[in-house]
Structure 1
Amino acid sequence: MAKNNKFDKIINIRNKKASFEFEFLDKYKAGIVLRGTEIKSIREGKVSLTEAYCYFRGEELFIKQMHIAPYSLASHFNHDPVRERKLLLQKQELRKLQNKFSEKGLSIVPVRIFINDRGLAKMEVALAKGKKTHDKRQSIKEKDAKRDLQRMAF
């Protein structure tokens, strides 16, 4: 007898642009404060992280420009697609991030959003440093070489 789990659909939405634009130094898993129908849209996979960025307001971490599409089956009580959302981290992680964020050239970038085994939406954020043009060229070369090796294997 198979166990029926309502969270069988795996949601793992990545920000591919971030790995090309930034070099990740540290990664953290954070909870997200959501309203109403936002979790239903996330479970449908209707999230875009390409324009999103994180910033501090006081002692709290927020994400801005993360687009969660309105839930299709909702009425007029739907959510605002690009509102800013609070990220939930432990105090010591927030302090560590805030200290490093104040350094010149470092950013906090959303890497991926996923649903954990308890059905909660989580986000992986990274402390990142922007890549230079020659670093981007190097990552393109590595990606091409990897693709060529995979082609030769088949």
Structure 2
Amino acid sequence: MAKSKEKDRLQKTVNISNRRASYEYQFLDKYTAGIMLRGTEIKSIREGNVNLSDGYCTFHGNELILHQVTISKYTEGTHYNHEPTRDRKLLLNKRELKKLKEGAQEQGVTIIPTRLFISDRGFAKVDIALAKGKKLYDKREDIKERDVKREMARDRY
């Protein structure tokens, strides 16, 4: 009976997105990377207890590290529970890492996580984007475009 309760609590599909990222940044390039996790982190992700809003990525040597992504502690975890805001290594091909490193060295460009999901094989993956910050007038233009699209959709129906 305990196993059925646990299966009900854990989600089959996890799709956690950073909605604020598309408002704050213009995406130049997107990649999908694996994450190196420890212990109870995957169970906490399956519960949906992740906050991507403050996350960013940096290079340490030739490794891409994910910072400031909060994976909350697993509720059923014991003293083996993980640290919520620890840095996590991202897994990419060498050529993808090289492209990201070259792109991130430009002025005003950063690497941010946009979405965290569970793949078909059960692995946690994160979509990252090479992004450039938007100016205030760019944000206003996006709001206007969204409003125009919404009005056109209303007129069709």
- For normalisation by structure 2, the TM-score amounts to 0.89
Kindly indicate whether residue 87 of structure 2 is the aligned counterpart of residue 84 of structure 1: yes
Could you say which residue in structure 1 is the equivalent of 2:100? 97
2:118 to 115, 119, 129: 115
Paired amino acid for 1:139:
D
For structure 1, the 5+ residue unaligned runs are 1-5
SS in 2 for 1:56: strand
Kindly indicate whether residue 31 of structure 2 is the aligned counterpart of residue 32 of structure 1: no
Could you say which residue in structure 2 is the equivalent of 1:3? none
Could you say which residue in structure 2 is the equivalent of 1:13? 16
- Summarize the Cα distance change of 1:149–1:60 in structure 2 as closer, same or farther, 3 Å threshold: same
- Summarize the Cα distance change of 1:152–1:46 in structure 2 as closer, same or farther, 3 Å threshold: farther
Fraction of identical pairs, as percent: 56
Could you say which residue in structure 1 is the equivalent of 2:52? 49
2:73 to 40, 65, 70: 70
Paired amino acid for 1:115:
I
Shift in Å at residue 152 of structure 1? 4.3
For structure 2, the 5+ residue unaligned runs are 1-6
Q: Give distance in 2, aligned partners of 1:147 and 1:118.
A: 37
- Summarize the Cα distance change of 1:62–1:114 in structure 2 as closer, same or farther, 3 Å threshold: same
Q: Give distance in 2, aligned partners of 1:149 and 1:10.
A: 33
Q: Give distance in 1, aligned partners of 2:88 and 2:47.
A: 19
Paired amino acid for 2:24:
E
SS in 2 for 1:122: strand
Q: Give distance in 2, aligned partners of 1:140 and 1:78.
A: 42
- For normalisation by structure 1, the TM-score amounts to 0.91
Kindly indicate whether residue 70 of structure 2 is the aligned counterpart of residue 59 of structure 1: no
Q: Give distance in 2, aligned partners of 1:61 and 1:137.
A: 33
